[in-house]
Amino acid sequence: MKTTTLTLLLSLASIVPISSQTPDPAYLQPEGGPYVFNETHETCLTEDQRQLALQSIKQNIALLRQDNKLATDHNRLGGAHILFSWPIKKADGLDYNDVWSISGYLDHNTAYPSQLTDYNCGTKTYDTAAGYNHAGVDIYTWPFGWKMMDNDEVEIIAAAAGQIIYKNDGQYDRSCSFNNNVWNAVYVQHADGSVALYGHMKNGSLTTKSVGDMVAEGEFLGIVGSSGNSTGPHLHFEVYSQIDPDILIDPYTGSCNSLNPDTWWIDQKGYANPNINALLTHNTPPVFPACPTTETPNESTQFELDDTIYFGLYMRDQVAGTSINLKIIKPNNTYLYNWFFDFTANYTSSWWYWYFTGVFDMEGTWKWEATYQGDTVTHEFVIGTLGVNENALEHIAVFPNPVKDIVNINSKLPLEQAVIYDVSGKKIMKISFNGNEGPHYSINTGSLSEGMYFLSVYSEDGQKEVFKLMKR
């Protein structure tokens, strides 16, 4: 027995040299787990609403024809059809690696309920007891879909050029369940007579173009939202090869596609699309409240040496039986940790985080890095003050100073946090400005005793300025 234990310890030691005082992360079970979108399988469009949508399309086409403004006045006569590019785009400036996952394809099995067949002969689709078979592709936003909706961070763009033949805005956009709400949507007819429906958009986000106007491939149509029958922010993308009479198609080719033989994608994506959607660092674990409350990501890229840092991993389509290589890399390019995390289940989206304290031994720019299925994603964060321009925040004011209770900060740059130190350099107070875009910030210093302090103010883009603060 003793020998076995010793051998085991020796073999573990030879695999993973343990150089720090905390457990090696390879032996730590992270917090987190799957994120399940549309768990209740609500409908995107009831059958009645689908018929209404088709009716509106026909009416608008008739009106455009009457005004001599209809760009394409024919149904497709077999043969070639247009091809689609991907209808979802990450907005400029968002530092996530990717922003979407797929919760459901079209249901090719016309029986119901729970008689499911997607184009790939799988069951990644849904139907309802009322007889609705999902007729589109559901692309949801991940991670922090509500946060990304609030900040206009995921755009719906035209998958092919065409004419806007229907547009509806002004509808409530934070649906969480079946409610018979009408969706905000744009429908586009292409040169071959086919029509694409883009549904569930954010209220007030739609293109300023009107019915009858032309859009180019890749042109902005709206922001991903949760209007209509919806359980969270996603795009419902539905395609008809012609409208009168209507012929539904599935843009994905596959052996169980009962509607059409070939793909409608320029470059058809995989059935699953394993990917690292985001690597983030946090000062507190992220919070996912109940629908439709916006998540609190608690993201931060500025830390002190003695902080607890949370290392978040946000996956799309993690595959059971595969593993991901994770690294925390010091400013001198040596590893603090380098380990593998094994995925034991298939999830269309999942989040995991590890956290460490007292192991950060170097100031400067660190890296949090992950490699999965050949792709590497790197996220940088700063510990301490190295690499930071101390005098860059020229347009910042701290007042009153001396201060009694409330100290005000005016800053032209959005601030991330402030830290108050005593004269011995000990951290007394840390204030996070998560969600406050400024320019006014305030800190309650009522709990500080009288004397001199140092106030370090950090901007969201990594700049720092230090002020002497007198407390009375």
Q: Which residues bind Zn ion (CB under 5 A)?
A: 44, 136, 138, 236
Shortest distance (Å) from residue 30 CB to Zn ion: 31
CA 384 – CA 312 distance, rounded (Å):
20
C-beta of residue 152 within 8 angstroms of C-beta of residue 139? no
Shortest distance (Å) from residue 45 CB to Zn ion: 7
C-beta of residue 407 within 8 angstroms of C-beta of residue 394? no
Instruction: Report the residue number, 133 or 300, with the smaller CB distance to Zn ion.
Output: 133
Shortest distance (Å) from residue 136 CB to Zn ion: 5
- Report which residue's Cβ sits closest to Zn ion: 44
Shortest distance (Å) from residue 236 CB to Zn ion: 3
CA 139 – CA 154 distance, rounded (Å):
11
Shortest distance (Å) from residue 46 CB to Zn ion: 12
The residue whose two tokens read 């902005």 is 220
Shortest distance (Å) from residue 49 CB to Zn ion: 11
Q: Which two tokens stand for residue 321?
A: 């039986």
Sign of the alpha-carbon torsion through 332, 337, 338, 342: negative
Q: Which helix (H) or strand (E) holds 64?
A: helix 47-66
Shortest distance (Å) from residue 248 CB to Zn ion: 13
CA 391 – CA 348 distance, rounded (Å):
45
Query: For the residues of 15-51, what is the DSSP string, one character each?
Result: HS---SSSPPGGGPPPEEEE--SSTT---SS-HHHHH
Instruction: Report the residue number, 100 or 351, with the smaller CB distance to Zn ion.
Output: 100
State the SS3 of 298-366. Answer: CECCEECCCCCEEEEEEEEEECCCCEEEEEEECCCCCEEEEEEEECCCCEEEEEEEEEECCCCCCCEEE
Shortest distance (Å) from residue 166 CB to Zn ion: 17
Residue type present at position 394? E
Contacts of residue 362, defined as CB under 8 A and 6 or more positions apart, other chains included, come to 330, 331, 332, 383
Query: For the residues of 3-17, what is the DSSP string, one character each?
Result: HHHHHHHHHHHHHS-
∠ Cα 12 351 348 (to 5°):
110
